[in-house]
């Protein structure tokens, strides 16, 4: 037990290393740009970019992931009845009866009710269990090591703004430093310390910009399609089968779900996303697909096991790690 606690403590400490690296690079860039190179002409715009980057990065890191409300947790009596029952069919029926009272439209890959044994709850649509955070996260997108946090319903907007302001920060530095890089290239920059800072500022800014550009473009595509990273890899399953576009209600409404209706707040890291993370509008919905109106017989026909939890780590980009239980 003590060894296990020690390992978890070490894991938590090491998980902050990527954040420390990013923070160190940004602080060095601030020092080099403001104190060493002293670009007074651009210092105001630079500070605007710097403040917005730091604000969005802070919000992406320290906004806790949203977890399912109590109504999705099994009550004491239901939990006792579920754990005491050894027959899988009866356990399945218990979950079906409970799920009838909840706004749930998706199923496990097997067709069963999505149930988390660790958190002892019925998973809302688009909710997944993160084995790093050790909790179920509403509208989980992925676990990002660069923010040491789960990106989901509560901070997805902040994560997107962090990517966009990171790109803006890199582009601004690269554009304003480039003229001094040309002077360095032809030998017209006499200050040796300035040479070092100009060279590495340009190199680091361009390197980060290229990697961020692909990641940001990918997430823009996900927002336009109303998909999470997990849903892009594995389509959500509805009563009629898997459907990658099940939550796609049009580009305009998809954007509004993430950024809110007030466009004046779209560029600021304040929470404006629609809903509470437990329910999301569907592209097509009729009475036969609605679990609140469907008959018990329709639920029973789907079959399947009680649990669909697959641990895995998928990397689609060096800056994104998915560590999740479905």
Positions marked catalytic:
144
Distance CA 107, CA 92 (A): 12
User: Which tokens go with 37?
Assistant: 């190179």
CA-wise closest residue to 203 among 176, 174, 163, 175 = 174
Q: Residue 16 in contact with residue 144, Cβ under 8 Å?
A: no
**Helix segments in the chain, DSSP class H:** 2-14, 17-31, 43-62, 76-84, 88-99, 156-185, 192-225, 229-233, 251-259, 296-301
Q: What letter does residue 311 receive in the DSSP assignment?
A: E
Distance CA 161, CA 158 (A): 5
Phi, psi of 204 (to 5 degrees): -65, -40
Kindly state the helix (H) or strand (E) to which residue 322 belongs, with its residue range. strand 320-325
129 DSSP β-pair partners:
136, 325
**Residue written as token pair 């954007």:** 255
Cα angle 15, 213, 318 (rounded to 5 degrees) comes to 35
Cα angle 145, 274, 226 (rounded to 5 degrees) comes to 60
Distance CA 279, CA 281 (A): 7
Residue 260 buriedness (CB in 10 A; 0-12 / 13-18 / 19+): middle
User: Which tokens go with 200?
Assistant: 């590495």
User: Which tokens go with 317?
Assistant: 């980009």
Q: Residue 270 in contact with residue 55, Cβ under 8 Å?
A: no
CB neighbours (10 Å) of residue 289?
A: 16
């Amino acid at each position: 037990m003590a060894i296990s606690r020690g390992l978890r403590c070490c894991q938590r400490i090491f998980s902050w290393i990527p954040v420390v690296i990013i923070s160190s690079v940004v602080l060095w860039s601030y020092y080099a740009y403001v104190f060493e190179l002293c670009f007074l002409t651009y210092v105001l715009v630079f500070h605007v970019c710097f403040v917005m980057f730091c604000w969005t990065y802070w919000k992406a890191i320290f906004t806790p992931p949203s977890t399912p409300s109590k109504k999705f947790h099994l009550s004491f009596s239901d939990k006792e009845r579920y754990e005491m029952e050894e027959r899988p069919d009866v356990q399945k029926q218990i979950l079906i009866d409970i799920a009838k009272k909840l706004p749930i439209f998706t199923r496990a890959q097997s067709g069963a009710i999505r149930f988390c044994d660790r958190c002892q709850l019925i998973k809302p649509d688009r909710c997944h269990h993160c084995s790093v955070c050790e909790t179920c996260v509403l509208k989980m997108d992925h676990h990002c090591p660069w923010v040491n946090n789960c990106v989901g319903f509560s901070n997805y907007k902040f994560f997107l703004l962090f990517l966009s302001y990171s790109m803006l920060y890199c582009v601004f530095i690269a554009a304003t430093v480039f003229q001094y890089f040309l002077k360095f290239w032809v030998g017209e920059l006499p200050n040796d310390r300035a040479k070092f800072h100009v060279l590495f500022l340009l190199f680091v800014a361009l390197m980060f910009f290229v990697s961020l550009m692909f990641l940001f473009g990918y997430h823009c595509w996900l927002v336009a399609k109303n998909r999470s990273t997990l849903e892009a890899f594995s389509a959500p399953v509805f009563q009629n089968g898997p459907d990658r576009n099940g939550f796609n209600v049009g580009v305009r409404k998809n954007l509004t779900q993430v950024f809110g209706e007030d466009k004046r707040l779209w560029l600021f890291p304040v929470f404006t996303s629609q809903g509470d993370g437990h329910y999301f509008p569907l592209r097509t919905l009729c009475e036969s697909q609605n679990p609140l109106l469907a008959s018990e017989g329709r639920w029973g026909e789907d079959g399947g096991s009680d649990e669909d939890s697959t641990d895995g780590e998928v990397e689609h980009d060096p800056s994104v790690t998915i560590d999740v239980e479905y």
